Amino acid sequence: MKLTIGKKLISSFILLALLVVVAGFTGILMVQKVARSGEKVLNEDLPFADVAMEARIVAERIVSTNRKLLLAETGLDEIEAQITEYVEDFDMFIQMLRHGTESNAFKNSPAGQMYVKDGMDLVVPQGDAEVQTLVDKITQSQTVFNEKIKELNKAHRTKTEYVFGYKGVHYSLPGFLYATDLKHRDWMKQLHNAVEYEVAFTGELDPTKCFFGAWYANYQTNDKQLADKLAKFQKEHAKFHEAGKKVVEAPQEQKKSMLIRGQRYLSKVEKNLAGLEKYAEATLKGLEKQEQTLAEEIITASRQIRKLLVELETLADKRMGLSQTDVVQAKSTSLWTLSVLMACSVVLALVLGFSISRNIAVPMRKAADMIGEMELGHLQQRLNIDRDDEIGEMARSMDRFADSLQNEIVSSLEKLAKGDLTFEISPRDERDLLRGSLQKLGNDLNEIMAQVRVAGDQIDSGSSQVSESAQSLSQGATQSAASVEEISSSMQEIGAQSNLSAENAQQANLLAIAAAKAAKTGGDQMAEMVAAMDEINDSSQNISKIIKVIDEIAFQTNLLALNAAVEAARAGQHGKGFAVVAEEVRNLAARSAKAASETAELIEGSVEKAGNGTQIAKQTAASLEEIAGGITKVTDLVAEIAAAGKEQAQGVTEVNQGLQQVDQVIQQSTANAEESAATAEELSSQAAELKGQLSRFILKDQSRGKTVNWIPQAAPQPDISDPDGGTWAVTQQITLDDPDC
């Protein structure tokens, strides 16, 4: 039977797969066993342990809350509600152990309703016989526990009626009654002092507002006997305060006799208080003893419950330990089985892998070495492997491939290396890329080399013509560059003159603007001067009017002086002094009239001259306005001249820049022409070299299929300097990346 490599590999993989299946099946069985043990722990044992622990914690909370109740005197309703809640929680956990959370008995019970209300999701199965026995014992202790808690709560609530806080002080009822007795004795002493020393009494006379009365008004009790005793005492207490009130309100001479009556009421009050105190003390001691007894019974019951819950937890732990042992055993078995199967799989895989890899690796290494030698161009090595599998077929194919390379491909390449392009090779079929490509390479090289030879002749002829044309172009470019340089120099001078003219025009424009401003300023000042002279003329006219008034005053003064002189002459000897004064006044009036006349003449002359000056100033102002208008026109013309000069200078600058660019282009053209001439000469020498190199290739005769050698021939060269020589051009141009080559 012929075993190929594929069959060997498939057989090995099938065998390994069988071992893996056996190992996996064994692992699955062990995992299922572990899963069953784990499910038992999670679904049965662990929930039992959790519920037992929760029940034990709740029982501890009940006991601790009862201790809190025993120490409390207020807020009893809240604490009792908390105890009731804990008791219901404890009962819920016990019912979960008894019936299981999935049973109808639990779901329809109050415990099941609380389970749903609290949003619990712990699933507990129904306990077996052993668990049920422990639950029954816990239930018995729970019944006693709950009854004693109720009795303790009732006894403590009764006790709180005998223990209370009043006015910031904590009292027991006997202590409070004793304090009341002391208060009343002090009250009676104050009353006695008030009567004895005839001072005002400051004690409380209202029996409902004194120390006892204010307390009694708010006190409540369920003890009927105590309530009757307190009511009887309150009556005597009221009479006592009424007697004290009468003593205070009685006349001074009657107070002492009435005080004696009050002493009798105090004795009755003290007697009743002693009875109350004795009753309250006995009752309080009985309640305290009852509380202590009930607390001890509750602690005993809680210890019994805690013991049973611990036994339940121990039972759950024991069962979890057994499940854990099963898991450990299953783990050990599965580890041993899987280890044996793994070892067998490893040994088998190593044996099969070594055998198969040796049968594959050794021939493949020889094939790789042969391919490496072929990559280096060494075609002498052969595999010579005689096998009936895929390796043998591969070896024989590689040997045939090496023979074909050496006999066909390499011989053709050797001819190609010698420049002989006449080799012939035929592809085996249309997918034979190697021989087909070599055949196409030979044909394409023959065509390319033929075209290259023709192109070489054309390049040789054209390079000579290009060289001569480039030299002529270089000379013309040199002359053009010199002319452009002269033109550029002239344009630079024109540009400088244009810039200077523009600057002068700009300065003239500035001067004209300044003159226009000065003329305008002069005109404004002349207008102001005309206005000032008009004001002076007006003032002179006003002064003339004042001078006339002064002249009239001098005239009247002269008349008065004449009258005074006449009266003095009439007075005779007694009026001489007055006549002298009148004479002086007349003289003063005459001088004033003369001075006023002279001043009037001067002012009239000034007014006339001021009028003439005003006329002249107006004419001068009109002349300045005409000058300012002319200067403005001159300024506009100079500005236009300056702008035109500036534009002309800018245009000359642009022309100069253009000439510089033309100069640069001509210089570059001259350099390019010189380089082209040098390149054409070099191209001519390279063309001659190309002809010599192409002469070594042996080509096929494309039309007859014969082998020919190519002999270089000189091509006619037209004279490009002859204007009648016509035009010339390369008839065909080829490049190395030409797709037709």
Residues 674-720: pLDDT tens digits?
A: 777 777 777 777 777 776 776 667 776 643 444 444 444 444 444 43
- Map 484-533 to HEC letters: HHHHHHHHHHHHHHHHHHHHHHHHHHHHHHHHHHHHHHHHHHHHHHHHHH
CA distance 50 to 40: 14
CA distance 523 to 618: 10
CA distance 201 to 204: 9
CB atoms within 10 A of CB 333: 14
Mean pLDDT value across residues 305-311: 82
Alpha carbon distance, N-terminus to C-terminus of the chain:
57
Beta strands in 32-108 (DSSP E): none
| Nearest of 396, 335, 334, 331 to residue 363 by alpha carbon | 396
Residues 50-106: pLDDT tens digits?
A: 777 888 888 888 888 877 777 776 777 788 888 888 888 888 888 877 887 778 888
CA distance 687 to 97: 114
Most confident of 39-43, 447-451, 737-741: 447-451
Residues of the chain with CATH 1.10.287.950: 488-676
pTM above 0.85, yes or no: no
Residues 274-294: pLDDT tens digits?
A: 888 888 888 878 887 887 888
Residues 601-639: pLDDT tens digits?
A: 777 777 777 777 777 777 777 776 777 777 777 777 777
CA distance 579 to 368: 172
CA distance 454 to 694: 11
What CATH number does domain 488-676 carry, 3.40.30.10, 3.40.50.1100, 1.10.287.950, 3.40.50.300?
A: 1.10.287.950
What CATH number does domain 36-161+292-336 carry, 2.30.30, 1.20.120, 3.40.50, 3.40.140?
A: 1.20.120
Which pair of structure tokens corresponds to residue 111?
């415990």
CA distance 313 to 315: 5
Mean pLDDT value across residues 299-315: 81
Angle, alpha carbons 370-374-379 (nearest 5°)? 90
**Longest Cα pair distance anywhere in the chain, in angstroms?**
201
| Nearest of 549, 547, 594, 571 to residue 581 by alpha carbon | 571
Predicted confidence at residue 458, as pLDDT, reads 76
Residues of the chain with CATH 1.20.120.30: 164-288
Instruction: Report how far apart, in Å, the C-alpha atoms of 563 and of each of 559, 574, 734 are.
Output: 6, 16, 150
The chain-wide mean pLDDT, for the chain, equals 74
Query: Per CATH, is 164-288 categorized as 1.20.120.30?
Result: yes
Band of pLDDT at residue 23, cut at 50, 70 and 90: low
CA distance 723 to 741: 37
